[in-house]
Amino acid sequence: MDRPKICVIGACNLDLISYVPRLPRMGETLHGDRFHMGFGGKGANQAVMAAKLGGEVAMVSKLGRDIFGENTAENFKAMGVDITHVHFTEQAFSGVAPIAVDREGKNSIIIVTGANDLLTTEEIEDARPVIAGSSVLVFQLEIPLEITLAALRIARQEGVSTIFNPAPARNKLPDEFYQLSDIFCPNESETEILTGMPAGTIKEAEAAARVILERGARTVILTLGERGSLLVLDNETSLVPVKQVRAVDTTGAGDAFVGSLAYFMAEGKPLAESMKRANQIAALSVQASGTQTSFPLREDLPPELFV
């Protein structure tokens, strides 16, 4: 049986994770409990999550010619991700993301994008065959806007379904981002930044999601953390709940959801069912430390998830 084909275009970073009693205040220095380095970047995380579930995943990105970049490429290979279109540059260091995680699992993150900013439209065009051969194409906002937009245009031209995760969110996005997104998938805070509207309650989240629909997105899936995810269409709204768990580290939970959603969509599952399964996998990820290291492997998941 053919494996679901997914292409991810986005950033690769090395996560530098400090575990602290609480998140520091402005100007404050704290002693941490422990330190961990891990592979990250929203694009890389989503690609690895889909690959861990058994997807045939291709990554399009750019790394620095340094130890972080070399190790990232080796990690992709180990996870079974196709790196044909992972490029290297000597003009910048690989991206990094210093992260602080408190004892309740809450986090703060700084992203230094580095080589990710140097991916070119020519390199995106070179990836057209792998994009066209995919069932789902996944994007974020950690690489330059014009590069992401070029890839979205190719996906629409080639008839490939898109999941756009607008993170980190910006106050304004060109209308074309909405118009070319089949699935527009922000979290609550990203939704508030994009729309200028509150998204704290389900009613507020739905109202904000409908503004995104009005801007041209075909479907909005709003992730709500421990409450699950909200599906908003022109004539339908559905809350897809998730089983409550004790969070150890929420870093990467949104990426676990998006990567899983892409996998199940590419497998042909209905959207609400894909969301339900992605919720379950994201909930498992927050019960372990780290980012990609917290993502479960297919063999560690209940078999009914893949029926």
Q: How far apart are CA 17 and CA 289, in angstroms?
A: 10
**Which residues, in sequence order, are CB contacts of 223 under 8 Å at separation 6+?**
185, 186, 187, 188, 229, 254, 257, 282
* 255 included as an active-site residue: yes
Q: How far apart are CA 146 and CA 16, in angstroms?
A: 28
Q: Quick count: other Cβ atoms within 10 Å of Cβ 218?
A: 16
Beta strands in 179-307 (DSSP E): 183-184, 219-223, 229-233, 236-240
Q: How far apart are CA 225 and CA 231, in angstroms?
A: 14
User: 142: alpha, beta or left, given left = phi > 0 and alpha = psi -120 to 50?
Assistant: alpha
Judging by beta carbons within 10 Å of its beta carbon (0-12, 13-18, 19+), is residue 217 exposed, middle or buried? buried
CA-nearest of 129, 131, 152 to 141 is 152
Question: Is the preceding peptide bond at 168 cis, omega within 30 degrees of 0?
Answer: yes
Beta bridge partners of 108: 100
Q: How far apart are CA 303 and CA 288, in angstroms?
A: 20
Q: How far apart are CA 263 and CA 57, in angstroms?
A: 9
Q: How far apart are CA 250 and CA 247, in angstroms?
A: 7
14, containing H or E segment: strand 13-19
Q: What are phi and psi of 55, to 5 degrees?
A: -75, 155
From the candidates 66, 82, 249, 255, give the one annotated as an active-site residue: 255
Q: Assess contact for 37 and 55: CB atoms under 8 A.
A: no
- Catalytic residue annotation: 255
